[in-house]
Chain A
């Protein structure tokens, strides 16, 4: 049966590879441009000399070290805030009953549609009223109480067997003790999944940070890159591409190393 050439299989493989190469081409090309001298940016030559000079030039042309520090502080702040607040809220929704619970949960879910990303005008005036303009807290605060995070953790917490909770209670654990000893450890995979989704989302976020920051001390890498990359500054393409790869580098490398976990965590975040 397998003597016959399998056209179906062949066409599928061809299609998959064609699309795969098409999808990967921009990234390969960016790597090529960034690792070769400027004059090879638009001209392919397999013997062109390799160089890391573009990365060095880019690094020296703008305060990228500071931008990276800002981004790392930002994603850490958001991640810790989200873990704490969403855990408490999800626990409350899972194991306590109180008046208004259903309405409040509906209001939490509403955030999946009405996102802070869209409410830039009013959030800006709130931040100004709070005197938080141009601070890292201002970039992160609107995202900390995440409707998605609360929903995801609540779904996970609901699968925790009552018996485990009873056992902990018999041993004398209070509500917070039960949360810490029973629920949180069992939800570890969800925390990992949500953490990866959150970090990559906020590492990449641009519009809101662009609006609330205006100094080197607070700007995350995405905003720094956009200022650096304006073409009219006369910086050549190889250096811009090097800077571009540099800013996405940590995530890209993390992705290549932990590809399986990354994909699975996005999958997990979606199924629930």
Chain B
């Protein structure tokens, strides 16, 4: 009787153990599946881009401006336009982000105002980019009566700034107190300590944020649709509509012409490669620096 009881208990615990391990195996299998699907998606996107985009790589793409379907043309004006607008956006957005980051890390810290600024900046980080486009359209396009490269750059700057704010604040918080105290002990005023000791010490980290901001805004399309509009001719005038690679891709990808489609794919490959290479450099670089 007693032996029987023990046997039954052993039996039950064995079945429980079996069930627990089954659950574990099932969860493990689902987890592997999830991971593989995510990696497969990235692979599929890259493969599609290379398959369709590589064929259109040529010197003309970089030397000729956009042209009507059937005419020989390239994406040179769009590439240059993208570089100009992204560059200008960073020139506006990065210093503003840097100073806001300094305010949050060094002056505001836990004050009420700083908490609100931090919160709003984080919200802008994920705000729909099309809203920024509409906003700049009403602020800089309607009053001046025409679309312009400058308004596109300002829209992108609003998107770039919160990224720099986030990294600057995070990085400045990593600066050891001893370093600040050393600066103060030498008689340096606080602003010099911040700018020439703290910021300089973490400049690599802040550069990371700036690079990520470049990667983010270089591929943005929605805010440019209503601001710089796109331009099929060569133009460096910031007061006029300006071409950009993402908008050109959008325009070409929706067309029915074979050569435009080809250029859209090649442009897409260029944008993606650029953005991903910046990301890889940043992430490999920061990992190396940390360890």
Chain B binds chain A: no
The interface of chain B, by Cβ under 8 A from chain A, is none
The interface of chain A, by Cβ under 8 A from chain B, is none
